Structure 1
């Protein structure tokens, strides 16, 4: 973080001159000028005085709001190729989110990972091919363009019993993959 630049931005936002900030923080105008140009660094106590004079706090000063990424491109994806399936992590770092979408690619005879019982819910959309959802003791055939939605109370997984590759967009909440 460029502390000097951030102090200058806050000072200008508040409409203060260097002289006014110096007076409020009981520091010299020269020291503040050098600090804003990164020619000197303040102690934590001095930085706290400056930030308080600007009507803020150290925690607020150091908090960095990251821009929320809304659109994800293929270059953002992570691909995990396994023997019986491939997982495309189509939204990176979703463990911190409320839900986690992936795309599962199942070749002929492929089976996904097994999801053990959990307290969440899951949604799937078959984008290509046809899959069988095995949920507890039941099996459900799901074709291209069809969806599934289930609670995680039963052990479940997908399998591809057809001759073509199947692709399924699978979303879990909370993140479990």
Structure 2
């Protein structure tokens, strides 16, 4: 186990500089750097002080990190079809609604439209894969065609619709439990 690397990773996750971690543990910035580069080993007392500031118990620190899935296959994706509204929704990352970003692929039939969303603090990015789509955001309409993007803050009621005579497809990534 690379103890120095693990201390550095925890410090960065806590958004602390070496100097800030040193101040909170009465250690110098230089000593924190030496620990992170495995050039020095902390005493047990110092190690426990570091873990306390970094918000970890010794058991958590020494446990093996679970394998995190980074690549998702077609088999991992979840689909939903709304024939009445004329769209198919694919969640590209399972359980992404628990994350800060939620990527989905939406395929619209001719005349298809996604549900209306109420204002929220979400940020939304849309890439048009094929066809043309219309975003109604508050009182304004915006259109984007294949290869174009839409990016907006969802602070007004909004709806996405197919503006093509045929099929349209988008990739949508939203924050803050948009879907």
Q: Tell me if TM exceeds 0.5.
A: yes
Could you tell me which residue of structure 1 aligns to residue 101 of structure 2? 99
> How many residue pairs are counted as aligned between the two chains?
121
Distance 1:98 1:166 in 2: 26
Aligned CA-pair RMSD: 1.9
Correspondence for 1:135 among 99, 113, 137: 137
TM-score, scaled to structure 2:
0.62
SS at match of 2:79: strand
Q: 1:79 to 1:58 in 2, by over 3 A?
A: same
Displacement, 1:175? 2.6
- Deviation string 1:29-63 (CA, Å, 9 cap, x unpaired) is xxxxxxxxxxxxxxxxxxxxxxxxxxxx7953996
For normalisation by structure 1, the TM-score amounts to 0.63
Aligned to 1:120: 122
Match of 2:75, SS state, is: helix
Per the TM alignment, residue 119 of structure 1 is displaced from its structure 2 partner at its CA by 0.9
Tell me which residue corresponds to 2:168: 166
Structure 1: 5+ residue runs without aligned partners? Answer: 1-56
Structure with greater Cα Rg:
1
Consecutive unaligned residues of structure 2, counting only runs of 5 or more, are 1-56
